[in-house]
A and B are shown apart, each in its own frame.
Chain A
Amino acid sequence: MMKEYRTIYEVSGPLMVVEQVEGVTYDELAEIELPDGSIRRCKVLEVNGDKAVVQLFESSAGINLKDSKIRFLGHPLQLAVSGDMLGRVFNGMGQPIDGGPDILPEKYLDINGLPMNPAARDYPNEFIQTGVSTIDGLNTLVRGQKLPIFSGSGLPHAQLAAQIARQAKVLGGESNFAVVFAAIGITFEESEYFVNEFKRTGAIDRTVLFTNLANDPAVERISTPRMALTAAEYLAFEKDMHVLVILTDITNYAEALREVSAARKEVPGRRGYPGYLYTDLATMYERAGRKLGLEGSITMIPILTMPEDDKTHPIPDLTGYITEGQIILSRDLYRKGILPPVDVLPSLSRLKDKGIGVGKTREDHASTMNQLFAAYASGKEAKELMTILGEAALSPTDLLYAKFADEFEKRYVSQGQEENRDIEETLNLGWELLKILPRSELKRIKQDMIDKYLPKED
């Protein structure tokens, strides 16, 4: 018989102190039974002698110190998993909320997972065609990568993520894919947008949704992404599926973490976020990847809104240090009506070099990519100079660069939500734009490539 305690000594925000406990272990899951019979869950954050500090996953409202009972369950928080999860909707704690039957679990998995042995990882190098030029051509996504979208409030990050989810495919191979979607503290409308998108494209049958909406308890958000990742790991590494995980919005997650940290009276790091924010985020992001000898993969697209569009804010900053690149959205481009408004220069995919080239995309990919980046950067500089000094101050070459930058934004970056460009189209478009520049400026491309691919003058 499991021991029940009625010794809750203190409740403060998401934390509770329970006294006179025995045999309680760190990270253990517990259940609180309220006088009205309802059950809430929590986990052990610290045990000190006969005192345990526990963190609630749900709201603490209604907990009565005298009459509430607490049971320690002897295992950490787990998720019941099975192949039947596909097509289902769960709340942030992994319970079905779509009115369907309960999941018959194949097994229970600890939501914290286990760190992947770096010697057992397989390096991601399979090109994923997203149909978005700025990603495929310049910031190539590969299977097993974690590539976040850094956005701001009011920018169309949801549309970009949905477009990627809809269009993503691996060239020359049909595969067993699935989408795991975690809504972390986002609004009902945003969440519905994704659900409708998945329904519209028929992907819903291959999607697992975990939703913790803005009006759900904030502390629950700490486990929502881990629930989603546990499901993703199960599908990828036990069911051999290629899983795309979309987590939105990480900013809400980090704020929930800060709330708990503040309640624990920990020494705060930058902007009040806990000092272990980096490690905490890493234990989620690093669950993306591939394993040697296993078929499946987890590709992760976390979305976060940068407070005040500030990239140096701790959440985007620490994320950027862990993830393998970032896609940054720009308010300026969005105002100009460019969709998706990907800010090309600060965006980056670290794994692109392994996913492109002969046999993957095309031999000219790497060098044209570098050339486009460099040319666009020079073009933007020329345009800045032009606004200060006027057009007359620019050399003829600089003027061409300025023209290039404009055309590049208009034709390459801008493509709208529905256009699905294949990689050949994207690469050819790049050459088409490079034609604006004099040939002698194309220093990053080898001569023979220029001869082969640069469109001839008519």
Chain B
Amino acid sequence: MSQGKIIKVSGPLVVADGLSDANMADVVRVGEQRLIGEILNMTGDRASIQVYEETSGLGPGARVETTGAPLSVELGPGIIENIYDGIQRPLEEIVRMTGPNLQRGVEVPALSREKKWAYTPVAKVGDRVIGGDVLGTVPETEVVLHKIMVPNGISGVVEWTIEAGDYIVDEVVAKVKTDKGEVVPLTMVQKWPVRVGRPYKKKHNPVAPLQSGQRIIDTMFPIAKGGTAAVPGPFGSGKTVVQHQLAKWSDVDIVVYVGCGERGNEMTDVLREFPELVDPRTGESLMKRTVLIANTSDMPVAAREASVYTGITIAEYFRDMGYAVAVIADSTSRWAEALREMSGRLEEMPGEEGYPAYLASRLAQFYERAGVVQCMGSEDRTGSLTAVGAVSPPGGDLSEPVSQGTMRIVKVFWSLDASLAYRRHFPAINWLNSYSLYLDTMKPWFDEHFGPAFMQNRNKAMSILQEENELNEIVQLVGKDSLSAGDQLTLETAKMVREDFLQQNAFMDVDSYSSHDRQMRLLALILDYDKLAREALTKGAAVQPMFEIPAKEKIGRAKFVEADQYQAAYAEIASEMEREIAAIVEKAGADV
């Protein structure tokens, strides 16, 4: 392989010459410590390289070697439950090798070469296979059946397969004779360059919702499986908690959580907490379906840029097996900053706020890798990849380039609001600014599975909140008392929707996850109260006594009822409410 020499070092950017036969985007090894880098630019035989590790101690004259291959990830059994850095080095393995701090130049394979997996062949000798067909399966964890697929671009007839048994990932498990007569040995591992999206047969429109157990998300601003969403918000507004909640409770098969330039303790939190949490759908630990990519803010900045690609490539691989996958990236703003830093060192002409001119197109490329697809292979499999990215706008100002670039692409926007967070209204998703563009496409699905009442109630609740906003402006001018009884009721109902429905405590076991049925019943309860009270008003009842009925306070506590008792409890509150309101109406009638 071709060898070059360093001529310039400036932070994570290294320029080397003598690399005429290297390719653009090749991975290179830099210096004595063989630090990992990637070629960004070529001029003649001179290459600009971004180095994924700290470059302290590098100087002109040091050796640079190209590996001749672009930055790739290893795909195979062993990915789930692992925690990787931005270029897929297993962090727990590195702790064992070098201790609690990250040393440089560590070389560890992404997948363990010692661990044996229980492999069961699926494809038989004589079968005709194409890229994406399943060769065999490995139960990677209790909940993930890892399908070993024929790598893309290979097709032919299976000539030999290994017997069922325990093997390491490098073991040849099948041999395929291609049409050219070449025999290709296949192992459980394949490689894929991270900056290239994995192919699929066809993309579909997302129609089914991703259920996250978060009331404001599932009911008000739902995201589709295969959709894209952004969570922007200033610091302290609860972005990370929203992201963690999604990672915990989303009804997907695999979650890839990318901690990109964020706090170390947040990754530790996920790493320590997830194994303890039980997935309500499988009854197994949540970690058994989770992959973590951690490139925290103190880790080298160039690897931060790669981390979102590493994450989404892994996600695509599981999507290709026909699974529903979610990628959660926290935060895309840090990724954009890494891009800006490299761009600055390359002395490129800056665009807005110093970000490179290609920022928006890079963001679009990332989110466009999400979707519902018909997977490769002769079998008919459908997989989905949902992408959710946090955005950390400086000063909470959404007019900055990363927020703007993201808003143009994503279909769901959960806007976090600092003033809600100060009031401890969590999740602090602002119901007036947020939106979901999937409501129309998912309506048939909702109508079929939850009944038409779901969308009706959702729209009703939204219009009450909208009305509250308008009424509040009047209240600010003339006070609450001058409002009509009906308007006062609207304000009260809106308050109930906000406090008793939208607020959800992520740290309280019973409230952290709310099933869809429970969400529907709770909202119906609040809207029933509104309906009954409104009817009572027409019958001459006063509005104030209705605010004081005990059933209303019980609605306020309804979200804390244990998960196995809520149906009975809600039914009881409903009948109590009817009785109490009827009593008020009766009394009003008697007074007249």
Contact = CB atoms under 8 A, between A and B. Distances in A.
Interface of A: 23-28, 45-50, 76, 110, 112-124, 144, 237, 266-270, 275-276, 278-279, 282-283, 286-287, 289, 291-294, 311-314, 317-318, 320-322, 324-326, 345-346, 348, 350-351, 353-354, 366, 370, 373-374, 377-378, 385, 388-389, 392-395, 440, 443, 446-447
Contact of A324 (B265, B271, B423): B265
Contact of B236 (A118, A120, A325, A354): A325
B8 A117 contact: no
Given A117-B100, A286-B297, A25 B9 contact: yes
Interface in B397-431: 397, 418, 421-425
A118 B296 contact: yes
Contacts, number: 221
B393 to A, nearest CB: 9
Nearest to A49: B7
A123 B353 CA distance: 36
B507 A286 contact: no
9 cross-chain pairs, A with B, having the tightest CB-CB distances, nearest first: A312-B395, A282-B297, A393-B479, A25-B59, A120-B100, A286-B298, A320-B235, A27-B56, A114-B101
B142 to A, nearest CB: 22
Interface string B239-267: 01000000000000000000101011101
A45 B58 CA distance: 11
Interface of B: 7-11, 15, 54-61, 83, 91-92, 94-95, 99-103, 234-236, 240, 259, 261, 263-265, 267-269, 271-272, 294, 296-301, 334, 337, 340-341, 344, 350, 353-354, 392, 394-397, 418, 421-425, 475-476, 478-481, 499-500, 505, 507-508, 553, 556-557, 560
Contact of B57 (A26, A45, A49, A268): A26
5 contacts: A26-B9, A28-B57, A49-B60, A321-B392, A389-B479
B193 to A, nearest CB: 25
Given A114-B101, A389-B479, A443 B499 contact: yes
A46 B236 contact: no
A203 B100 CA distance: 30
A313 B299 CA distance: 25
Contact of A116 (B56, B101, B478): B101
A26 B58 contact: yes
Contacts of A440: 553, 556
Given A47-B60, A374-B425, A443-B556, 11 more contacts: A26-B11, A118-B264, A118-B294, A237-B100, A268-B354, A269-B353, A275-B337, A283-B298, A289-B264, A322-B263, A346-B236
B236 A326 contact: yes
Contact of A46 (B9, B56, B101, B476): B9
Nearest to B331: A321
A289 B56 contact: no
Nearest to B476: A388
B441 to A, nearest CB: 34
A118 B234 CA distance: 24
Nearest to A281: B297
A286 B296 contact: yes
Contacts of A350: 240
Contacts of A116: 100-102, 264, 298
Contacts of B395: 311-314, 317
A240 to B, nearest CB: 14
- Of the candidates B263, B392, B553, the one having the most CB atoms from chain A within 10 angstroms of its own CB is B263
A169 B234 CA distance: 32
Nearest to B507: A353
Nearest to B552: A440
Contacts of A23: 59, 61
B421 to A, nearest CB: 8
Nearest to A122: B268
B93 to A, nearest CB: 9
Contact of A26 (B10, B92, B234, B240): B10
A196 to B, nearest CB: 34
A275 B265 contact: no
- Of the candidates A115, A282, A395, the one having the most CB atoms from chain B within 10 angstroms of its own CB is A115
- Of the candidates A120, A123, A324, A443, the one having the most CB atoms from chain B within 10 angstroms of its own CB is A120
Nearest to B31: A25
Given A46-B10, A269-B354, A275-B344, A118 B91 contact: yes
A413 to B, nearest CB: 15
Contacts of A293: 100
B298 to A, nearest CB: 4
B265 A320 contact: no
Nearest to B299: A115
Given A27-B57, A275-B340, A294 B299 contact: no
Contacts of A392: 479
Contacts of A446: 557, 560
Contacts of A289: 264-265
Contact of A314 (B58, B271, B394): B394
B271 A266 contact: no
A76 B499 CA distance: 55
Contacts of A353: 507
Given A286-B296, A345-B422, A388-B476, A121 B397 contact: no
A115 B83 CA distance: 16
B100 A292 contact: yes
A458 B265 CA distance: 46
A324 to B, nearest CB: 6
A408 to B, nearest CB: 14
A307 to B, nearest CB: 13
Nearest to B99: A120
Nearest to A76: B56
Nearest to A121: B268
Nearest to B56: A27
A278 B83 contact: no
A364 B294 CA distance: 34
B100 A291 contact: yes
A46 B235 CA distance: 34
A104 B177 CA distance: 70
- Of the candidates A49, A116, A394, the one having the most CB atoms from chain B within 10 angstroms of its own CB is A116
A73 to B, nearest CB: 12
Nearest to B83: A119
A45 B476 contact: no
B235 A117 contact: no
A351 B299 contact: no
B305 to A, nearest CB: 12
Contacts of A118: 83, 91, 259, 264, 267-268, 271, 294, 296
A373 B100 contact: no
B354 A275 contact: yes
A9 B341 CA distance: 28
Contacts of B421: 348
Contacts of B58: 25-26
B235 A317 contact: yes
Given A124-B265, A312-B396, A395 B100 contact: no
